[in-house]
Each structure stands twice: as structure tokens, then as C-alpha cells.
Amino acid sequence: MIKRWRLEPKSEDVEKYKRGELVEPQKPIIFYIDPATPKKWVPYLMQGVDDWKVGFEKAGFKNAIMAKLAPTKEEDSTWSLDDARNSAIVYKPSDIANASGPSISDPRSGEIMESHINWYHNVMSILRDWYFIQTAAVDTGARKMVLDEELMGQLIRFVSSHEVGHTLGLRHNHGSSSTVPVEKLRDKAWVEANGHTPSIMDYARFNYVAQPEDNIGRSGLFPRIGEYDKWALEWGYRLFFQFNRADNEKGFLNKWVIEKLKDNRLWFGTETNPDDPRSQSEQVGDDAMKGSLYGIKNLQRIVPNLKEWTKMPNEDYSNLRNMYNGVVGQYQRYIGHVTKYVGGIMETPKMVEESGPVYENVSEEKPKRSGRFS
Ligand SMILES: [Zn+2]
């Protein structure tokens, strides 16, 4: 069952839609922001929702999704955050360091009817920790315990977009970042233009491969809605009026997907395959041996500065302990990414019309290099 919101052109716009003109849907997807949300973060949460507009444009719809402030009691006394007709990003004043994007769908049709995204307050602490550990060697703004408002805001925007992505029907694509050659992650012009992963639904976090001498700005360190995400929405939401039954679409869609996936930046690697080294959580680039070495070099740059960068007046060394443990955990993660090549089995789902194997052993060269870690 495909889960998707019902997006349809207004009756007077159907012909325009068929001609390929962008039209507004009958009913856009609206996410209200919980009025209890700390005011300074509201614009960033809203931006994370609005960022998906470009994805729906691929499917032929403009202004298909938007964030709105919750109406005040004076504006609408009947509005409620708990009303199942209102989708919302709900602020949870909680020390849980997470966020989630659940949705309710009709089990008969797959139509997504509403979503209440959970944004727990302390997701900000895990964002700070990730950004510090993965980028402090290259971004001077990451070298402190209380990040500037603009930087934290952009981190919140990224999480908002990721969770909204789930509510639009998208799964994690842990394989997406493996389509990017490691050296491109160090190429300032390329990575700032394209991002370090083609999907915000990957667990690619931040570009830990970037080295200080590469001078890569935040646009090359942060995830963003990318080619895969836009393609996924195009596939999921474009309407084909030439077919009167879903069955009749099948052959057409199959050919379309086969053709599109010749571009490997649109590849989907599941989050549930433990054997494929391409589909690893928290790993970026096409070669973990090279990528992890760059990541470790950055950790080596951070460790001598940990005491200074975690220092806060009138505080003890809890921050130092926390970040030291974070660095050790990240080092173990980098090593773990490399060991995945030993005995690794790659899975490339295919339709019967496509040639080549679905399952392949990782070629001999990579496991050998992972043993030497070179
Ligand atoms: Zn997720």
C-alpha cells in the first residue's frame, strides 16, 4: 500500500495540469505550529515544512504544502491542536532527544489524513552534539556548547524537513549518500551546489569528510531536500489522467522507474538491510575506508581542543565528558562502517525487465582494503 496525501487539481485546472502547468491543489497540506513552541524556533520549523514545496512542483503542484501559525483564540475560538482535522508540529517540553513524524492513513486506500509530528525539546542537544563531533574541525561556529541562534535554527529546519518527509510517505533512504564519491565531498564548489547526499531522508547527518583546508561552507556540510526526495514525490504524487485504472498504470510506471534509476543519484537503499555496506546509517560517501579516514583526521583535530571548546563559566566538566564520549562513539562508528565490507552482500532490487544480479558480493578489493584500512 502506497501512503500518500490526496492531492488533486481543482476541476477548472485539470486541463492545465495535463498540459504540464503548475497548479494549486484543491486542498493543500497544512502543518500548524504548536502555539507552545518557543517563538525563536518557529520560523525554522515553518521553513522545514515549506522547503518541500519544490518536491511537489515536480509532481505538478504549486503551494501544495505550507506551515501556518496556529490561529489565536480571537481568530478562531474553535481551533484545537488536538483536533484530528489539523496536522501540526507539536512541541514536547521533554528531555527526550528525538523527533518523529507519524501519520494516520486510511487502511483501505493508503490516503494520509493527518499527522502530528513530535518535536521533543532536547532534540536540540543531540543536534548540537552531532554537529560538534562531525564538523567542529571545519566550522568554527560549532566549537561551543551553546550554538548561535541562526546555526541551531538551521539544524532545527533540517530535522523539521526530515520528519515532514516521513509524513509525506517517505522512508529512510540509507543508501542515498553512498552514491556520492568521497572526493566530491571535499570539492567545495561541487558539494556546496549539490549537497553531501541526494536525500534528506538518509541518516547522513553532516559532511564529516570535509577537511579544514577544503574551506567548505555550511551549505556543503548540511543535508537538504535533494534529487532523490524530489523524484520520490514526483513518483508518488504525479497524476496520470490517461489511465482510468491503477492496473493500467503499472507498465507505464515500471518503464518510467527503470529509466529514471539509470541516474544512480536517485537510488534507494533500504534502512533494513544489515549486509549492504552501501546502506549504512550515519555513513557518507561511496567508500567508507577513505571516508572514515577523513572523519578520524577531523576527530584528531577536535580532541586536543575538547577542554577549551566545551568550557562554560560556572560549570563543571560534564560537557567535556559528554563530548569525549561522543568522539569515542563516532570513532567506533567510523570503524564499524569499514568492517561492513567484510562479507558484505549488496542488494539492488530489480524488476524482471532489468538485467544484472540483485545480490552481489562486495568486490574483493574493498574487503582487502578494509582489513588494512587504507
Ligand atoms: Zn527518520
**Cβ-contact 252, 240 below 8 angstroms:** yes
Mean pLDDT score of the chain, rounded to an integer? 96
- Residue 23, pLDDT score: 98
Mean pLDDT of the region 163-190: 97
pLDDT tens per residue across span 60-111: 999 999 999 999 999 999 999 999 999 999 999 999 999 999 999 999 999 9
Over residues 167-184, the mean pLDDT reads: 97
Q: Is the pLDDT of residue 374 over 80?
A: no
Give distance in angstroms: CA of 201 to centre of ligand 1: 6
User: Where residue 149 falls among pLDDT bands split at 50, 70, 90?
Assistant: very high
Q: Are 63 and 24 in contact (CB under 8 A)?
A: yes
Does 163 have pLDDT greater than 80?
yes
Residue 335's identity, in one-letter code, is I
Give residue 163 CA to ligand 1 midpoint distance, Å: 6
Phi, psi of 41 (to 5 degrees): -95, -10
Is this prediction's pTM over 0.75?
yes
Q: Are 179 and 266 in contact (CB under 8 A)?
A: no
Model pLDDT for residues 347-373, shown as the tens digit of each residue? 999 999 999 999 999 987 877 887 777
What's the pLDDT tens digit per position in 17-72?
Answer: 999 999 999 999 999 999 999 999 999 999 999 999 999 999 999 999 999 999 99
Question: How many of the other CB atoms lie within 10 Å of CB of 374?
Answer: 9
* Centroid of ligand 1 to alpha carbon of 18 (angstroms): 34
- Compute, in angstroms, the gap from residue 42 CA to the centroid of ligand 1: 20
Distance from residue 279's CA to the centre of ligand 1 (Å): 14
255-294 tens-digit pLDDT: 999 999 999 999 999 999 999 999 999 999 999 999 999 9
Q: Ligand 1 mean position to 317 CA, how many Å? A: 32
Q: How far is the CA of 167 from the centre of ligand 1 (A)?
A: 10
For residues 249 and 64, give the distance between their C-alpha atoms in angstroms, rounded to a whole number.
Answer: 23
Question: Mind spelling out the 3-state secondary structure of the chain?
Answer: CCCECCCCECHHHHHHHHHCCCECECCCEEEEECCCCCHHHHHHHHHHHHCCHHHHHHCCECCCEEEEECCCCCCCCCCCCCCCCCEEEEEECCCCCCEECCCEECCCCCEEEECEEEEECCHHHHHHHHHHHHHCCCCHHHCCCCCCHHHHHHHHHHHHHHHHHHHCCCCCCCCHHHHCCHHHHHCHHHHHHHCCCCCCCCCCCCCCCCCHHHCCCHHHCCCCCCHHHHHHHHHHHCCCCCCCCHHHHHHHHHHHHHHHCCCHHHCCCCCCCCCCCCCCCCCCCCCHHHHHHHHHHHHHHHHHHHHHHCCCCCCCCHHHHHHHHHHHHHHHHHHHHHHCCCCCEEECCCCCCCCCCCEEECCCHHHHHHHHCC
pLDDT value for 226: 98
pLDDT at 358: 96
Residue 316 alpha carbon to ligand 1 centre in Å: 34
In tens, the pLDDT along 311-331 reads 999 999 999 999 999 999 999
- pLDDT score recorded for residue 244: 86
Query: Residue 247's pLDDT is what?
Result: 87
**pLDDT of 190 above 90:** yes
Across the range 179-183, mean pLDDT stands at: 98
Ligand 1 centre from 202 Cα, in Å?
8
Distance, CA of 48 to CA of 162 (rounded, Å): 8
| 325-329 own/partner pairs: CB under 8 Å, 24+ apart | 326/129, 326/132, 326/133, 327/133, 327/299, 327/302, 327/303
